[in-house]
Amino acid sequence: MSYAAFYRHSIESPEAFWAEQAKLIDWQTPPRQILDDSRPPFARWFVGGTTNLCHNAVDRHLAERADQPALIAVSTETGTERTYSFRELQGQVQRVAATLVSLGVGKGDRVLIYMPMIAEAAFTMLACARLGAIHCVVFGGFASGSLASRIEDATPKVVVSADAGSRGGKVIAYKPLLDEALRLSAHKPDAVLLFDRGLAPMDLTEGRDHLAAPLLEKHRDAQVPCTWLDATDISYTIYTSGTTGRPKGVQRDVGGYAVALAASMKHIFDGHAGETYFSTSDIGWVVGHSYIVYGPLIAGMATIMYEGLPTQGLDRQPDGGIWWQLVEKYKVTVMFSAPTAVRVLKKQDPALLKKYDLSSLRALFLAGEPLDEPTARWISEGLRVPIIDNYWQTESGWPILTVANGVEPTPSRFGSPGVPMYGYKVKILNESTGEELTGPNEKGVVVIEGPTPPGFMQTVWKDDERFVNTYWKSVRGKMVYSTFDWGIRDADGYYYILGRTDDVINVAGHRLGTREIEESISGHAKVAEVAVVGVADNLKGQVAMAFVVPRDGAVLGDAQAALVLEGEVMKQVSDQLGALARPSRVHFVSVLPKTRSGKLLRRAIQAVCEGRDPGDLTTIEDPSALQQIRQSVDVSR
């Protein structure tokens, strides 16, 4: 079947389409109703069906592949590497599940997970799924204030954490951060379960804190059956990155999520049981939930869980080839990373791409931020496998736009994440009028018409009204889900994402997307990375300001060279986009401020440029990056 026909079937006959996809997972009780769309925009999938995420990710594989690798935990921070078979994974998960039960956790209870990228974090997520407890993973190392607000919102019965994480050889003690968060939080959990890695000392609070090791040993041979859950029960909540003010917890179901992931592993990622999947994300983000833990395991694949930097070897020495070494060693077939990570690798010796046998790799998927054409072309030429961009959100749980090579081999286009995936009715609307824009290259807001497909968020945790008002009522006169991204669609149906609707610069009444300006600048041969923000201006309302990481670091110390390059960059933008889009200034820095997951902190950059407080910078990878921004702006004033 062609993808066009496959997609059309999913849109025209959603119940028949998803009934077929539902066969990809195990059900204790088959659903009696595939879709209940009686209360839009709340879509309920597989009503009456009962299933369990942990069963589908672990137990169901024991009959055929009990001794096959399931979870491969690699840490270049501690120089450790261990593989767990499906049988061993089930044993580890049951020990953690029994331990959580001993601490009072049952179906529907919340468990907040605040952990580094270690195997025990995956065991804990799966244990929660096994019990029917709702897990809420908070990115390891989050500041106490941010963590406290999430504890208050999630109201967990138990918090699971560790003594410390490590990043680039720098130990980050979690326990003091957690203790302060618990002090600040109005909600107090019944217990705290702590995994001790021996990286940092821990002060234990008597009666509340429990070391995991003795409890796990006590439950070494525990047998904990899976709790069968209604498909519409809650599997987990996760807080959206960039949340400001009161946390916004994305709530996800059990059955729809399991089916969506199983279908995506087959149709989008073309993954097969017995193969190996490697996502370089973090379990603190939705990619880590969907494509480190649940998706690959549901598909019967081994999944690599990696703690460390892309330029750090197992001997903890600089090694820009560590990821490729892992691809060779574990015969990775599908890899998932972020454009930022590739830009980091782009600065390494190109010979590293030729040093290892990468013949097992069929495709590299990239997501998390727009993929610029120069980066895509560089990695494509280096790996000589398809580089597949994909666009989605914490809210969607799985890709909205990409290509489905598992259905029909489809060429990617540099600069485009692809076409709408099955189940998603994607449209581009005029922001002011709500009119649908059907012509090629007409710019508008990317929206999704309901009902949203399985795996999509159910609602905002404990706040249906916020879900409706935030996501479904932002376009005048239309009840549609807004992605809050600008986009265009070419004549062949490929979409291009132009940046957030709130990242639009209004220069003297002209609306300009920062994404378009960044794309133009990144095409300059001497530019490695770029971030463009709109800065308040008394005359024009806003002006564009660009921050560039040059390929040649010598530019940073040579005022004349910097001036020449700034002129070249401005001319390129003027030639390609017109004089209105030309940045007011181009500043050169050695590093851009990003989260640890690779997302540019554009709002923080903008705040610094405007002399405002940049806000919570808990997730910033390199705190010196914003200082460089501040210094470069101060010098130019």
If you write DSSP's letter for every residue of 231-243 in order, what string do you get?
TTSEEEEEEPTT-
Please check whether residues 124 and 247 belong to one and the same domain: yes
Looking at 472, 492, 524, which one is the last position of a domain?
472
> How many CB atoms neighbour CB 191 within 10 A?
19
In a domain, 489, yes or no: no
Closest to 604 measured CA to CA, from 578, 633, 636, 563: 633
Q: Could you tell me the residue range of the domain that residue 266 belongs to?
A: 3-472
Residues 108 and 334: their CA atoms lie apart, in Å, by: 34
C-alpha distances (whole Å) from 246 to each of 146, 149, 154 are 10, 7, 12
In a domain, 484, yes or no: no
Looking at 424, 453, 472, which one is the last position of a domain?
472
Please check whether residues 512 and 468 belong to one and the same domain: no
> How many CB atoms neighbour CB 357 within 10 A?
11
Provide the pLDDT for residue 431.
84
Provide the pLDDT for residue 35.
98
Q: Residue 629: how many CA atoms within 13 Å on its side-chain side? A: 31
* CATH at 631: 3.30.300.30
With the CA atoms of 475, 479, 481 and 484 taken in that order, what torsion angle do they form, in degrees rounded to the nearest 10?
0
Paired sense of beta strands 302-307 and 69-75, if any: parallel
Provide the pLDDT for residue 407.
98
Please check whether residues 319 and 430 belong to one and the same domain: yes
Q: Which amino acid is at 501?
A: T
Dihedral of CA 579/580/586/590: which sign?
A: negative
Domain count, the chain: 2
Please check whether residues 388 and 535 belong to one and the same domain: no
User: % helix / strand / coil in the chain, to the nearest 5?
Assistant: 35, 25, 40
CA R_g for the chain: 24
Please check whether residues 459 and 552 belong to one and the same domain: no
Please check whether residues 72 and 183 belong to one and the same domain: yes
Alpha helices for 132-219 (secondary structure H): 144-154, 174-184, 212-218
Residues 6 and 499: their CA atoms lie apart, in Å, by: 29
Q: Look-up: residue for tokens 């010598």? A: 554
Provide the pLDDT for residue 616.
66
> How many CB atoms neighbour CB 314 within 10 A?
18
| DSSP calls for 534-584 | EEEETTTEEEEEEEEEESSGGGGG-HHHHHHHHHHHHHHHHHHH-GGGS-S
pLDDT < 70 stretches in the chain:
241-246, 502-504, 508-511, 597, 616-619, 637
In a domain, 496, yes or no: no
Provide the pLDDT for residue 394.
92
Provide the pLDDT for residue 351.
86
The tokens for 393 are 């959100």
Please check whether residues 468 and 515 belong to one and the same domain: no
Q: Is 489 helix (H, G, I), strand (E, B) or coil?
A: strand
Provide the pLDDT for residue 601.
86
In a domain, 493, yes or no: no
Q: 535: left (phi > 0), else alpha (psi -120 to 50), else beta?
A: beta
DSSP secondary structure letter of residue 471? I
In a domain, 234, yes or no: yes
* CATH at 464: 3.40.50.12780
Please check whether residues 309 and 187 belong to one and the same domain: yes
Please check whether residues 568 and 436 belong to one and the same domain: no
In a domain, 244, yes or no: yes
User: Which residues neighbour 249 within 8 Å (Cβ) at sequence distance 6 or greater?
Assistant: 136, 150, 153, 154, 237, 238, 239, 460, 461, 462
Please check whether residues 431 and 552 belong to one and the same domain: no
Looking at 445, 472, 499, which one is the last position of a domain?
472
In a domain, 478, yes or no: no
Please check whether residues 112 and 249 belong to one and the same domain: yes
Provide the pLDDT for residue 603.
81
Please check whether residues 239 and 372 belong to one and the same domain: yes
Closest to 131 measured CA to CA, from 226, 223, 231, 258: 226
Residues 151 and 177: their CA atoms lie apart, in Å, by: 13
In a domain, 562, yes or no: yes
